[in-house]
Amino acid sequence: MAAIFNPFQMAQQQFDRVADMLQLDESVREYLRWPQKEFHFRIPVRMDNGSVRLFQGFRIQHNNARGPYKGGVRFHPSETVDGIRALATWMTWKCAVADIPLGGAKGGVVVDPAALSNGEKERLVRGWVQQMRKNIGPRQDVPAPDVGTNAQMMAWMMDEFSLLNGEYTPGVITGKPVGGGGSLGRTEATGYGVVYTTREAMRHLGIDGSKTRAAIQGFGNVAQYAAVAYKQILGGEVLCVSYWDYNDKRAYTISKERDFDPAFLLSITDQYGSVNKQKAQSAGYVFEDGGAWLSKDADVLIPAAMEGQIDAVNAKTISSRVKIIAEGANGPTTTEADEIIKARGIFLIPDFLCNSGGVTVSYLESVQNDMNYYWTKDEVLQKEDQILTEAFRTVLEVSLNEKVDLRDGAYMVAISRVIKAMQLRGWI
């Protein structure tokens, strides 16, 4: 029987590896291996049929040495507390590696959002805020959207917090709709950031992006805009994407040998990333098993779905053509798969560097909320590009100087920055 994947154990293993390299003091290690605070609560929701249903909710705050806790709220039916712990931990490193003044946190609710009506979703997100109102805020902890949540749900969260506190507080939540305190460019930010860092990797490796093809796992927000940006920014081709079909309750890989059009697929995709199968097939798209994306004959693999998707078994099926893996998701590659990928000489851009565009623009959204002045989309994306390019180059320099892979290099940068803030604040 295969061992059950535990993302928090993986997050700790990744940290421990670099902690050994940095020869960290044992007390500092223990401080950073575990979250500072955890909130577990039940949310009662009046359903449309009049019954009351209880939902399990979480908010886990890992570290705030560099600034207020920051991280999304995920709605997923198989969410676990260890999954949230891992994501909170990675958020600390993500903010630090991008050098933005925020800490790490993550929230979640165990629920299938596709099974709820809009009214039920609104009551659930407002209930989440009611449970957390004393422990979130613009200078305390700033939630954001994640898997299963969206801009509208963030607007409800912000409104509930404002109502409970008696004043309009747009900075309590990021990822809000434009016109409701949100930032232009936020929707595209994570996917574009994946491509910005991939572009920098290609420059380092001497690869012409316009001559490459990418295979993408997922077709939620991150994957959608990574696919669009791959064509727009790099001039490359997308070979396939995968997605979870909420009707069929299974994953599919959608491919097209020529003229794959991410914008067309976006136009026939619902809010949860499920593609209209009939319309896609009519346009010449082929549907395969959900895992087929990984073995496609692509130059770049972009896992942009969930944790633990590339493991010791399926990593061996990766095509010999693959030169770069850009981790659009959080924790998509297990530690065992990491070693296989490294041995094959594939250049891997680690998750908390590769997908840090979302939290970067979330930070820029908070800045705009504070100023009550909003930038154009081009200004926002230009600032994101500048921040992520600098982050990539800093990590690459450490990686080359210390003769470690990019994941270890990113951890070295992030951990060192968090420890420095802890020292300056007198915590250690």
Active site residues: 106
Q: Report d(CA 193, CA 384) in Å as an integer.
A: 7
Beta bridge partners of residue 326, listed in sequence order: 349
Q: Cα dihedral angle (301, 226, 77, 361), rounded to 10 degrees? A: 130
- Measured distance between the N- and C-terminal CA atoms of the chain, rounded to whole angstroms: 43
Q: Report d(CA 349, CA 280) in Å as an integer.
A: 31
Q: Residue 166: count other Cβ atoms within 10 Å of its Cβ.
A: 7
Q: Which of 236, 223, 154, 222 is nearest to 190 (CA)?
A: 222
- Nearest 5°: the CA angle 206, 305, 30 is 90
DSSP state at residue 3: P
**Side chain identity at 192, as an amino acid letter?**
Y
Rounded to 10 deg, the angle between the 377-402 and 189-205 helix axes is 40
DSSP-derived 3-state class of residue 245: strand
Find the length of the chain.
428
Residues 6 or more apart from 296 whose CB is under 8 A from it?
Answer: 215, 239, 240, 253, 255, 319
Q: Are 17 and 413 in contact (CB under 8 A)?
A: no
Rounded to 10 deg, the angle between the 81-97 and 7-22 helix axes is 40
**Side chain identity at 316, as an amino acid letter?**
K
Q: In Å, what is the CA distance from 41 to each residue of 44, 110, 122, 143?
A: 10, 11, 18, 16
Q: Report d(CA 294, CA 241) in Å as an integer.
A: 10
**Side chain identity at 37, as an amino acid letter?**
K
Q: Are 10 and 90 in contact (CB under 8 A)?
A: no
